[in-house]
Chains A and B, each alone.
Chain A
Amino acid sequence: MTTSYLFAGFGGQGILFAGKLLAYKGLTDGKNVSWLPSYGPEMRGGTANCSVIISDDDIGAPIVLEPDVLIVMNNPSLDRYENDVVPGGTIYVDSSLIGRKVNRTDVNVCYIPATALASEKGLDGLANMIIMGKLLSDEDQLGGESLEKALKKCISARHADLLKSNYDAMMLGSQQ
């Protein structure tokens, strides 16, 4: 079993972080994982995307061209990657930032007003984690030890105060 994920949005939205959390969770679950960021001269505000593969088998190409799951947090990313998703795959859309609907009819779509929810609940900057909460609960992977471990791996000890808010954001997402 191999699942490929593509996260895409603007730099600064936590795209790479969300992918990293998923990869760490996969590692903690004893899976093979790979995480590959786009890299470029823009450090903030440009486009950002990352490929994550979680697999029971050896992973070949780490570049996700046809994702099983697409997570998009801005319009250009939806425009660019919508048609790449495998039929029967899933697209998670931050509907507070993306005005349009997904055109495809052969994929599952989940609209979450993540950015709006985040500012409403005082979780600014954690829209990515709200979507992650929804994604993980859809996959029945929310809760449990491995997620907690993964979160601790991704958030350095000196930012330990952020653990709770990240967790809260995921819980909020799971209720959507």
Chain B
Amino acid sequence: MADKVLMKGNEAIAEAAIMAGCRHYFGYPITPQTEIAAYMAKRMPKIGGTFLQAESEIAAINMVYGASAAGVRAMTSSSSPGISLKSEGISYIAGSDLPAVIVNAQRGGPGLGGIQPSQSDYFQATRGGGHGDYHMIVLTPASVQEMAELTIHAFDLADEYRMPVMILADGTIGQMMEPVSFDFDIKPAPEKPWATVGTGMKRPHNVVNSLYLNPAELEQNNFDRFKRYEIIAEKETMYEEFMTDDADIVLAAFGIAARVSRNAVLAARKEGIKAGLIRPITVWPFPKAPFAKAADHCSSIISVELSMGQMIEDVKLACECRVPVTLCNRVGGMIPTPNQILDAIRAAAKGGK
């Protein structure tokens, strides 16, 4: 196995993207994700790739749209306010059935907010963000190793399903260093007969487009896309369970919140409270099955989030309100401590069955 290297999460994303064959990166500076752009700026010219600092996030996502339409693996990255600006382009990418990888190293909001980590773009990421009926596949890494793994996975998923895939990270996972192994089997990108690469006078022209003035046609287009989403929900949902088999209190958390929750689960177990953790790795599609299963035997679920309670809605839907679901959160760039979560577990255990 290849040596592990110590790397920042943001750098791991950049290196993994290059390994995945991405040679076109378009970005605009914003904290806390600038390491990705810096890494790409350094590496791309040396490997025949393109790093281009766009005039705005809006331009950057549209450069991705163009490069992707032209058949290459392309990506952009930003942080929360920048993702709002990109949302127009993401809707067009979804509507035009183009693959693209978009990284959001979330920071506190709304507005300019702060630069410390957050998970408050959950709704934006899982509900679309831009206009229209569409989804992105949303991957939530909880370690530097996953920043790399899920980036490579993101390019594969984007190409396979011809849709935008978001890496929904946060400032902490982006800035922290952990050992990472880049020992990956890289699948070649699939053929893209739909790409606008010139007809070569050999075929009718390809058109990349999201405009359908005929409502019946647009409706069918939406139906077809959502059929694809059903397949994705069935095949591509990812999650991890930690000590949930006999758990009485189940935590739900992703990304940095899941890391902290893990400590709280272990601390609770030391006190004799049967706690467990379900960590969604895809938040769209949302892993409903483990929550439905947990609701059969646990007495309550605690959604641990760096937001005012966004994922909690999906958790409630997934367990169909069969057990109480409560929120344990910090926002604005603050991160819950293991003790705060432990207190929430203790409180839930007291009120349990």
Asked whether the complex places CB atoms of A and B closer than 8 A, the reply is: yes
Complex CA gap A41/B6 in Å reads 24
Choice from A24, A33, A36, A59 contacting B175 with Cβ under 8 Å: A36
Report yes or no: B172 in contact with A36, Cβ–Cβ below 8 A: yes
Residues of the B chain whose Cβ atoms lie less than 8 Å from the Cβ of A36:
172, 175-177
Q: Closest Cβ of chain B: how far from A62's Cβ, in Å?
A: 5
Does A113 have its Cβ within 8 Å of any Cβ on chain B?
A: no
The verdict on A60 contacting B176 (CB below 8 Å), with A33-B6, A35-B6, A153-B6 known, is: no
What is A's interface to B at a CB cutoff of 8 Å? 20, 23-24, 27, 32-37, 39-41, 58-63, 65, 153
Report yes or no: A60 in contact with B263, Cβ–Cβ below 8 A: yes
Report yes or no: B6 in contact with A61, Cβ–Cβ below 8 A: no
Report yes or no: A60 in contact with B259, Cβ–Cβ below 8 A: yes
Among residues 24 to 51 in chain B, which have CB atoms less than 8 Å away from a CB atom of chain A?
A: 31-32
> Hey, what's the 0/1 contact readout for B175-203 against A, CB within 8 Å counting as 1?
11111000000000000000000000000
Does B70 have its Cβ within 8 Å of any Cβ on chain A?
A: no
Number of B interface residues, CB 8 Å? 22
What is B's interface to A at a CB cutoff of 8 Å? 4, 6, 31-32, 115, 171-172, 175-179, 256, 259-263, 266, 335, 337-338
Choice from B6, B172, B262, B335 contacting A23 with Cβ under 8 Å: B6
Report yes or no: A63 in contact with B178, Cβ–Cβ below 8 A: no
Q: Which 7 A-B pairs have the closest CB atoms?
A: A60-B262, A60-B263, A35-B177, A61-B260, A36-B176, A27-B179, A61-B259
Choice from A35, A58, A65 contacting B176 with Cβ under 8 Å: A35
Residues of the A chain whose Cβ atoms lie less than 8 Å from the Cβ of B259:
59-62
Report yes or no: A37 in contact with B338, Cβ–Cβ below 8 A: no
CB<8 Å pairs between A and B, sample of 21 = A20-B177, A23-B177, A27-B6, A33-B6, A36-B177, A37-B175, A37-B176, A39-B32, A39-B171, A39-B175, A41-B115, A59-B259, A60-B260, A60-B262, A60-B338, A61-B262, A61-B337, A61-B338, A62-B176, A62-B178, A153-B6
The chain A residue sitting closest to B261, CB to CB, is: A60
Complex CA gap A164/B242 in Å reads 46
Q: Closest Cβ of chain A: how far from B342's Cβ, in Å?
A: 12
Report yes or no: A32 in contact with B179, Cβ–Cβ below 8 A: yes
Complex CA gap A146/B317 in Å reads 50
Q: Closest Cβ of chain B: how far from A5's Cβ, in Å?
A: 13
The chain A residue sitting closest to B178, CB to CB, is: A34
Complex CA gap A58/B143 in Å reads 11
The verdict on A65 contacting B337 (CB below 8 Å), with A33-B178, A60-B263 known, is: yes
Residues of the B chain whose Cβ atoms lie less than 8 Å from the Cβ of A40:
115
**13 extra interface residue pairs, beta carbon distance < 8 Å, beyond A23-B177, A37-B176, A39-B175:** A23-B6, A33-B178, A33-B179, A36-B177, A60-B262, A60-B263, A61-B256, A61-B260, A61-B262, A61-B263, A63-B260, A63-B335, A153-B6
Choice from B115, B177, B338 contacting A34 with Cβ under 8 Å: B177
Residues of the B chain whose Cβ atoms lie less than 8 Å from the Cβ of A62:
172, 176, 178, 256, 259
Complex CA gap A11/B171 in Å reads 19
Q: Closest Cβ of chain A: how far from B108's Cβ, in Å?
A: 13
Complex CA gap A62/B256 in Å reads 9
The chain A residue sitting closest to B176, CB to CB, is: A36
Q: Closest Cβ of chain A: how far from B180's Cβ, in Å?
A: 10
Residues of the A chain whose Cβ atoms lie less than 8 Å from the Cβ of B6:
20, 23-24, 27, 33, 35, 153
Complex CA gap A24/B5 in Å reads 9
Best-surrounded residue of B6, B256, B262 (most CB of chain A within 10 A): B6
Residues of the B chain whose Cβ atoms lie less than 8 Å from the Cβ of A32:
179
Q: Closest Cβ of chain B: how far from A15's Cβ, in Å?
A: 14
Residues of the A chain whose Cβ atoms lie less than 8 Å from the Cβ of B178:
33-35, 59, 62
